[in-house]
Structure formats: C-alpha cells, structure tokens
Structure 1
Amino acid sequence: MASIEDWTRSDVYHNSFLISDDDALAHAQKTSADNGLPAIAVSVAQGKYLNLLVRSIGAKNILEVGTLGGYSTIWLARALPEDGKLITLELSPKHAEVARGNIAYAGLTNKVEIIVGPAAESIKKLQPEPFFDFIFIDADKPGNLTYFLEAKRLVKKGGVIIVDNVVRQGRVADPSYSDANVEGVRKFIGHLKTDSDVDATTIATVGEKGWDGFTYIIRL
C-alpha cells in the first residue's frame, strides 16, 4: 500500500515539471511557519489546481472562508483579472496579520480584503452584490454546513463552491469513527443529498497533505 512518502514523492515529481519555484508563495509558507501557524494550508499542487479552476471559469469575484496565512489566497487572487476582487474570512487576528503581510509581499493587496471575526457571523453579513463566481471553504469543519448554506446564497447560478478536507483519511466514511471534524463533514454531505439547488461530487486526493479530498459543487 502506498504511503505518505510515496504520495509526497509523486507530488514533488509532478510539481517539478508543472509548477515553477515562486518567491511570494515560498515567503508565505516560511512566514506562516515562523509565526507558528498550523501547517494546514493547501499543498502546492492543490493551490495550483484552485488557480486553474478560477481561470477556467473566468471568475471575477471570489469568497474564501478560512485565510490562515494567505497561501491559498495568493493562488486564488493571482487567477483574477485586473478588476477582480477576493474577500477572505479569518477568525484569528494573528493569522490575518500574517496573511496581510504575505499578500502584500505578493503584490495583491489591491485585490484582497480580509475580514476578521467568526466566519459564521461574517459570512451572514455579506450581500450577493455582485454575486460571487467562486467560493472556497476551508475553515473549521463543524461549520461546513453553515458556510455552505450561506455560500449557496452568495454564489451566482452556474458558480462553483469547493469545500476542502471532506475525506479525512477515509474517516468520514468509517462508521466506527467520530469526532467533531468528521461529524461536520457528514452533516454537510448529508444535506447535499437532498439539496436540489446544487449538483456535486467528492473527489479523493492523495499527496504531501496525505489522503483527503474536496467536494466540487455547482449552483444550479
């Protein structure tokens, strides 16, 4: 059976052909680590994937739920056109401060707005004017359903919502396992089964972040 070492080696191999070294992204990773932020940002390959998705649909307005150190924020914001805008929600003032520095270093301050506070409160205050084209949810997993329901209100028809970390080493599908994160994902996935406003699928992933996955949702 493949291991985390195998998956990491595969990521590094493919990245060496497909993703160039990048000073701003490396800076974001280093300053986040130096400031003691948890190492839970998306991987390099996942960040590039998000960037390609945004470019593929021609998104101009993005909402991100969960900023951390701004690593995924940079990937997303770079995919926007000159007049594009990204709003990102972050609970921790410290994380937001680190993210602001990283986003400024990447030259993206004019495209990114960080809103600090509980995301469940911040997202309910947002208005769909204009509607968001793309929403990335990567915050506390118990809040997934709350974030999704608000995202559905805020995203345009035909727009995309991505919810990260929904496989969790297969634990979400293991009936013998339970914790707050797993139950948060299960509640969210259970809702999608009967939600006629969207269509969705979950894709499992392996790589340097281990075995996980994301749910890809389109607003009908």
Structure 2
Amino acid sequence: MPAIRLNRITFSYNRTEVFTGLTIDFPESACTAVTGPNGCGKSTLLGLIAGLLRPHHGTVDVAGVDNIALAVQRDQVEQTFPITVSEVVAMGRWRRLGLLRRPARDDRDIVDYWITELGLDKLRSRRIGDLSGGQRQRALLAQAFAQQAAILLLDEPTAGLDADSAETVHRQLRRLADSGTTIVAATHDADAITRFDHHVDLAAGVQYVGPEQHPCHTGGVNTRAGSQT
C-alpha cells in the first residue's frame, strides 16, 4: 500500500487545466523526486497532497496521515515579517503543541537540533528578512524537519544552497526516509534525481519506480499551467 495515492486527479486554475486523470503512487519511507519544467504542476501537486488544494475530480489518499509538513519556496515567505530564525524553526512544533501548551524541553531540543544541523547557530537571533536566500531556505527546511511529520513535502529544497548545504540537506533527507518518513520533493536539481529512490516526471507523464528506473505511465498531465510550478 503506497503512503500517498493520487487517483485520476483533474485540476485546473481559472479554466486552465493542470492535471487530467493524473494517477501516481508514492511509496512510504522513501524519497521521491518530482520533476518537470516550470508550469507543469510540481507545486500544485504538493498542494494537492498537503490538502491546501482540492481536486475537481479524483481522490488524494494519504493513508490516514494528518501530520504533513510542507516547506514552500523561500520567495513565498514575507521577508518583512518580524520573526527570528529561532522563532521560524520553533513554528514547526506548533501542530504538536496546539494553542495552549507551552514548548517542553523535548520541543526545544528538537528545534535546537535542526538549527545546528542546518548551520543556523550564528543566525538564531537574525530576522528572517535579513537573511540571504540560501540562509532563509535552510531556516524553512529546519522548520519543516522540526515537525517530525510522517509525510514531508518540499518545494525546490536545495534552491539557493551552496554545495555543502545541499549535501547536508540530502544527507538529512536520506536519514529521515530511512527512519520512516515519506518524502516528496519538487525539484530541478539533477543530483536529487540520482540520489532519490523514485522519480516522477510530470512533463512526460511517467513515474520511474526504484533504482532500476522502470517507467510506469501516470495518466494525463496538462503542462499549460501558466506560472504554477
């Protein structure tokens, strides 16, 4: 049973079709790269899995999981928002804490761990808007990782990162998948495609499963999605 199943999904923006009859299975405890040119629906696909978007037809099944983390692209975050790096990462614990419970020692330890792992120690007190693009990207990834979600969705996770930071992210994704997290990453990063367990090419309408890369057709994909990625 896949961790995520999209079954015959049809979705459009303002009468412009993005997906028509799209069917994809995402295996559990694995990293899947979703690729394709700008406008093919990569970000839309993540939004459908996260439940932020609803398909016009078809179903999205996440096997009863309600803890899904989504790390958006850094340019989708308001840079003038007066919040520090530590506060951004700590927001990853809000789902587990709820509105009334204060962070416990375990919550603080998890936040500290991801700040350290992603090289943000010296930036803890910096405002998110004062960071470089790569630094802001690492803060958003740390926030997503801190959620300890069963399903982790990433939109261009290594965009703007230097080689060392990208290597750190790939290493952490591998560790999370090996410990049971299902990871889906929309990416243009060719390195991610070779390092991930599975690959979905939206432009070709093909799903490559496993290291031997045997293709399976995923159904119709309309790539006329305008600025949607």
Specify if TM > 0.5: no
Between the two structures, name the one with larger relative contact order (CA 8 Å, sep ≥ 6): 2
Highest CA radius of gyration, 1 or 2?
A: 2
